Amino acid sequence: MGQRSFWPLFDLVVRTPRLEVRLPREHEFGALIEVVDAGVHEPGAMPFFVSWTEEEPDVRARRSAQFWWGQRASWHQDDWAFTGAMFVEGRPVGVQELSAKRFAAVRSVETGSWLGLAHQGRGLGREMREAVLHLAFAGLGAEEALSGAFEDNASSLATSRAVGYEENGEARGPRRDGAGRTIRFRMSRRSWEGRRRDDIEIEGLASCLEMFVGAGPRS
C-alpha cells in the first residue's frame, strides 16, 4: 500500500509564469528566515500590526517558525490561514497568506504578504497576490477578497490598486504601542472575473479541498 499523505496541503501549489506559492517545508524555514534577516522593509517603517520584524534576530527566527507551525497546528475548516511561501527559481523569497473564517458559509477571504526588500518592486508582490486570488476565486469559489494596509504603505496600497481591488473604507489597526489608520480594499468575484489571468495553475487542490470548505452536508 502506498503512503497516504497526512497533510495534503503540502501538495497544493499555485504556479504563475514567474513564481510558485506553496507551504514551505521545515527544511526551507531557514532560507525564509535569511530573507527576513536581510530586511523586509526600511528600518523605522512598520507595515504590520504585530511588530515581528523588529524582534532580535534569534527570537524572530524562533517565533517565525512557531508562527508557521502554529498556522498548521490550528488549522480548522472554520478558521484557516494558508501561509504560503513564494518561491522564485526554487528559492523562497516571501510569504503570501490567504485566510478565512467560516469560509464554506461566508465565501470571503483576506490576504497578507511580505517579500524580501531585494525582491520588491519587480512585480512579484502583484503576481503572488494574483496567484492566491486565483486559488480563492477559481479554486475555492470565493465571493470576495479583502485586504488592507496602513495609509503610508505606498507599495501595498499600490499593489491592491494595481490588482484591481476597490477601496472599501478605513479602519484603525494596532501599530507598535499605538494605532494607525488603514485603508481597506475589496475585490468582488465579478470584478475578479473581468480581470482573471489565464496563466495561473493550481495543482493538488482536490486532495485538500475539504480542509478549506468542509465536507458539506451528508446525504
Ligand X SMILES: CC(C)(COP(=O)(O)OP(=O)(O)OC[C@H]1O[C@@H](n2cnc3c(N)ncnc32)[C@H](O)[C@@H]1OP(=O)(O)O)[C@@H](O)C(=O)NCCC(=O)NCCS
Chain positions contacting ligand X, by CB under 6 A: 40-41, 47, 113-115, 120-126, 149, 153-156, 158-159, 162
Closer of 107 and 126 to ligand X (Cβ): 126
8 A C-beta contact, residue 192 and residue 133: yes
Closest separation between CB of residue 195 and ligand X, Å?
12
Closest separation between CB of residue 36 and ligand X, Å?
11
Maximum distance among all Cα pairs of the chain, rounded to whole angstroms:
56
Closest separation between CB of residue 28 and ligand X, Å?
18
Closest separation between CB of residue 44 and ligand X, Å?
13
Distance CA 92, CA 115 (A): 9
Closer of 83 and 120 to ligand X (Cβ): 120
8 A C-beta contact, residue 13 and residue 205: no
Closer of 64 and 156 to ligand X (Cβ): 156
Measured in whole angstroms, the distance separating CA 134 from the mean position of its chain's CA atoms is 12
Scan for cell 495553475, then name that residue.
201
Closer of 60 and 204 to ligand X (Cβ): 60
Name which of 57, 32, 53 is nearest 44 in CA terms. 53
